[in-house]
Amino acid sequence: MKTEKTYKELQSFDNAATLYLIKNEYFKDGKFTDKATTKLVSNMKNVIKQAGKHFEEFKELGNDIQIDYCSVDEKTKVILYNQDKSYQFTKEKLKECNKAIKELAEKKVTVHTRITDGEFELTDEEKEAFSGILIHEIKKEEENV
């Protein structure tokens, strides 16, 4: 099954999943441990791998946005760089660039869900981040106004 999540939501999932794996000793010192993998953890790894491809795409699109807004030499049209090899921006163009990147973070991408049945000891943050991707969708209660 597939769902759509924003890059921002996918990043929240990845952060929560990484912390879950570390906290439960499935991941340590930058690599996976030999601890026996549960179905939840197996599915989590699959979604993390899938998210990595979306993060690569986000990085490329973000770089393209920076190129679109960075300063260029008026005569040669060559991109201007700082000493640290970062792009130079005018104040106005940097604001526009940041706005475009924020909008990109809200763009939805298709994710193959790996819904895992069962009862899991998850924090509220994990439940929110995993909802609709790794565990059944958690419906938010409508707030009374």
pLDDT class of 5 with cuts at 50, 70, 90: very high
Provide the domain count of the chain.
1
- Determine, yes or no, domain membership for 143: no
Asked whether residue 93 is domain-assigned, the answer is yes
Q: pLDDT per residue over 16-59, tens digit each?
A: 999 999 999 999 999 999 999 999 999 999 999 999 999 999 99
On whether the CB atoms of residues 106 and 100 are closer than 8 A, the answer is no
Measure the CA–CA gap between 120 and 123, rounded to whole angstroms: 9
- Domain of residue 83 covers 2-130
Cβ(43)–Cβ(94) below 8 Å? no
Note whether residue 138 is domain-resident: no
- 């989590």: which residue's tokens? 44
Residue 142 lies in a domain: no
pTM value is 0.87
Residue 142: band (very low, low, confident or very high) from pLDDT cuts 50, 70, 90: very low
Residue 51: inside a domain: yes
Residue 28 lies in a domain: yes
